[in-house]
């Protein structure tokens, strides 16, 4: 083969051909990378949406269990003999069957008491212990607080709820613009049934002298040692209940004369009475939202965690504090109450707290005062819960329209930019580029009894 032909056969690509091939290769690679990034981003969005939906459903479902039990006093709030009282509208309302309090220091045996008797808040002045037995105060049944990013109404919960973090945008703070709610109810899995072969009651005439605990282990009753001297006791049946200070002598519970306004009355075995250690069994459950680290390293970026605190938190009898759901940025409540005219209205926490006897259904037989401040707290028959949940991980590839969300509590159901809402993510310590969705539920209180 001639040398010229041999050189032609052995020659490679020219520089121009190589550059064209490289450009084409880069274009193909760029296309592949673009498709990969788009698919990856779409996958992250879909994964976050699925997680976000599950978080919202779980958080609402968990709160539903506690809120529906609010004001539960064994069976005294939804059973027993009705005592009709005519309302101003002509509607007949069931008579109040809240417990009678004999104990001189009721709030000393409770947790997260937001306004002790003798204090004031929300425009109301709460009376002190009257020196004789009285009906369980309405404001101790539940208490809510609505918060902006700067203040809460009817009062700042930090001034009265111990161990609740203050509002702020640092790690561990309570998230600004989120409500706080405390509800109370008897733990239905606790207590000792009184009757043949079980715990027994003794007294003279209609006056209670003692209760001998004989736990029925076949139905899971707690041991007698669970009751501690100095605790408050609650003796209840389906028509009434009595709260009193008690001593325990080897499983024999007796009223402490020095710490009670007289002695509680007997209750007949035929009425299915039950004894509870009120200090431990009357659960105080508080919900609030705390600022937590997305990367679990105590630093930004942050998200919110829905917290459930029982009996004032860890270290108290029956106390605990748990993170229920992560990704909750907003928490708000509206209270459906039945007023004196028998009609239902949805009110804010401040409006409920400012109520007096003139606003409420049938009065308590032995109220702390004639005005019965905050009496609408016992007239709450439903609670509307609204939460805003985020995807927990910032997505910086989101477009401006993809970051829009609706939160009806802010006065509009339209999709709006984060900066257009009454409470903005940035004012809470969160970043804007996250997916956000609203969840709302109406919870009926099964123990409602005005």
Rounded CA-CA distance 76/210 in Å is 22
Q: Do residue 302 and residue 436 come from a single domain?
A: yes
Q: CA 68 to CA 448: how far, in whole Å?
A: 9
Q: Is there a domain that residue 15 lies in?
A: no
Tokens at 298, concatenated? 């105590």
Q: How far apart are CA 161 and CA 173, in angstroms?
A: 14
* Tokens representing residue 425 in the block: 């993510």
Is 333 domain-assigned?
Answer: yes
Residue 146: Cβ within 10 Å count: 21
pLDDT tens-digit map of 280-325: 899 999 999 999 999 999 999 999 999 999 988 888 888 899 999 9
Q: Are residues 237 and 253 located together in one domain of the fold?
A: yes
Beta bridge partners of residue 212, listed in sequence order: 200, 252
For 387-404, write each residue's pLDDT tens digit: 999 999 898 888 899 899
SS3 356: coil
176 with 233, same domain?
no
The pLDDT tens digits for 182-231 are 999 988 889 999 988 899 999 888 899 999 999 998 889 999 999 989 89
| pLDDT of amino acid 199 | 92
Predicted local confidence at residue 93, as pLDDT: 44
What 3-state class would DSSP assign to 140? helix
pLDDT at res. 78: 38
Residue 24 in any domain: the answer is no
Q: Are 440 and 410 in contact (CB under 8 A)?
A: no
Degrees, nearest 5: CA angle 155-232-253: 175
Full domain range(s) for residue 238:
192-278
* 328-338, strands of its sheet edge to edge: 344-347, 328-338, 380-390, 436-444
Specify the pLDDT at position 101. Answer: 92
The answer to the question of residue 378 being in a domain is yes
The reply to whether 148 and 213 lie within a common domain is no
Same domain for 387 and 331, yes or no, is yes
Residues 259 and 380 placed together within one structural domain of the fold: no
The whole-model pTM stands at 0.85
In degrees, rounded to 5, the angle at the alpha carbon of residue 353 between the alpha carbons of residues 347 and 359 is 75
On whether both 157 and 266 belong to a single domain, the answer is: no
Same domain, 116 and 242: no
Number of C-beta neighbours around residue 35 at 10 A:
10
Whether 247 has a pLDDT exceeding 90, the answer reads yes
* Residue whose C-alpha is closest to residue 234's, from 130, 319, 110: 110
Residue 47 confidence (pLDDT): 77
Judge residue 70's burial from the number of C-beta atoms within 10 Å of its C-beta, 0-12 exposed, 13-18 middle, 19 or more buried. Answer: buried
Pair 149, 206 in one domain: no
Assess if residue 429 is contained within a domain: yes
From 249, 278, 307, give the residue that closes a domain: 278
CB 138 within 8 A of CB 374: yes
> Please, which residues bridge with residue 276 across strands?
234
Number of domains into which the chain is organized: 2
Given a contact cutoff of 8 angstroms between Cβ atoms, the answer to whether 225 and 270 are in contact is no
pLDDT of residue 286: 94
Using the predicted structure, report yes or no on whether residue 83 has a pLDDT greater than 50: no
With 0-12 / 13-18 / 19 or more C-beta atoms within 10 angstroms meaning exposed / middle / buried, residue 163 is middle
Backbone angles phi, psi at 279, to 5 degrees: -60, -35
User: What pLDDT sits at residue 40?
Assistant: 57
Residues 301 and 439 in one domain: yes
Pairing state between β 134-135 and 200-204: unpaired
Residue range 21-45: mean pLDDT, rounded: 69
What is the C-alpha separation between 159 and 143, in angstroms, rounded?
Answer: 14
In a domain, 211, yes or no: yes
For residue range 418-433, list pLDDT tens digits in order.
Answer: 999 999 999 999 999 9
In a domain, 51, yes or no: no
- pLDDT for position 17: 72
Q: Which of 278, 308, 337 is the last residue of a domain?
A: 278
- pLDDT value, residue 92: 46
- Percent of residues in the chain assigned helix, strand, coil, to nearest 5: 25, 30, 45
Average pLDDT, the chain: 84
DSSP, collapsed to helix, strand or coil, labels residue 6 as: helix
Angle formed at CA 52 by CA 48 and CA 57, multiple of 5 degrees? 155
Q: What percent of the chain has pLDDT over 70?
A: 86
Query: Which runs of E-coded beta strand occur in 167-214?
Result: 180-186, 192-193, 200-204, 207-212
The pLDDT tens digits for 323-358 are 999 999 999 999 999 888 878 899 999 999 888 888
Percentage of residues of the chain with pLDDT beyond 90: 45
Q: Is residue 47 part of a domain?
A: no
Higher pLDDT, 119 or 320: 320
Q: Which of 252, 278, 304 is the last residue of a domain?
A: 278
Q: Is the peptide bond before 154 cis (omega within 30 degrees of 0)?
A: yes
pLDDT of residue 181: 95
Distance CA 85, CA 64 (A): 31
Tokens of 208: 């209670």
Mark whether 267 and 286 lie in a shared domain. no
Q: Are residues 155 and 200 in the same domain?
A: no
């Amino acid at each position: 083969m001639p040398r010229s032909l041999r050189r032609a056969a052995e020659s490679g690509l020219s520089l121009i051909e190589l550059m064209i091939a490289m450009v084409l290769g880069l274009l193909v690679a760029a296309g592949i990378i673009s498709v990969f990034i788009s698919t990856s981003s779409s996958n992250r969005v879909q994964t976050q949406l699925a997680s976000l939906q599950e978080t919202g459903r779980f958080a609402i479902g968990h709160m539903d269990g506690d809120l529906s039990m609010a004001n539960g006093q064994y069976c005294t709030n939804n059973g027993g003999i009705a005592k009709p009282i005519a309302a101003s509208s002509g509607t007949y309302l069931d008579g109040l069957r809240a417990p009678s309090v004999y104990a001189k220091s009721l709030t000393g045996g409770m947790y997260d008491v937001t306004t002790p008797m003798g204090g004031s808040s929300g425009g109301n002045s709460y009376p002190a212990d009257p020196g004789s037995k009285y009906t369980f105060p309405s404001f101790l049944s539940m208490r809510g607080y609505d918060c902006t990013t700067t203040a809460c109404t009817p009062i700042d919960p930090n001034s009265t709820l111990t161990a609740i973090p203050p509002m702020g945008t640092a790690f561990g703070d309570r998230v600004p613009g989120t409500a706080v709610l405390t509800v109370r109810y008897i733990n239905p899995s606790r207590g000792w049934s009184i009757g043949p072969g079980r715990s027994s009651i003794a007294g003279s005439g209609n006056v209670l002298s003692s209760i001998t605990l004989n736990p029925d282990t076949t139905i899971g009753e707690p041991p007698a040692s669970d009751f501690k001297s100095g605790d408050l006791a609650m003796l209840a049946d389906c028509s009434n209940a009595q709260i009193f200070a008690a001593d325990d002598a080897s499983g024999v519970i007796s009223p402490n004369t020095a710490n009670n306004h007289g002695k509680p009355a007997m209750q007949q075995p035929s009425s299915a009475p039950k004894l509870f250690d009120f200090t431990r069994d009357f659960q105080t459950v508080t919900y609030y939202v705390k600022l937590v680290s997305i990367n679990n390293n105590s630093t930004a970026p942050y998200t919110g965690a829905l917290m459930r605190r029982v009996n004032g938190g860890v270290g108290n009898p029956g106390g605990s504090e748990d993170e229920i759901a992560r990704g909750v940025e907003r928490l708000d409540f509206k209270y459906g109450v039945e007023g004196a005219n028998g009609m239902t209205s949805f009110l804010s926490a401040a409006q409920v707290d400012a109520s007096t006897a003139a606003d409420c259904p049938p009065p308590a037989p032995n109220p702390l005062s004639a005005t019965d401040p905050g009496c609408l707290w016992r007239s709450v028959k439903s609670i509307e819960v609204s939460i805003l949940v985020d995807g927990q991980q910032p997505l910086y590839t989101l477009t401006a329209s993809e970051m829009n969300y609706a939160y009806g509590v802010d006065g509009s159901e339209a999709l709006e930019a984060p900066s257009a809402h009454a409470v903005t993510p940035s004012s809470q310590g969160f970043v804007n580029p996250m997916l956000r969705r609203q969840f709302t539920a109406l919870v009926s209180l099964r123990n409602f009894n005005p």
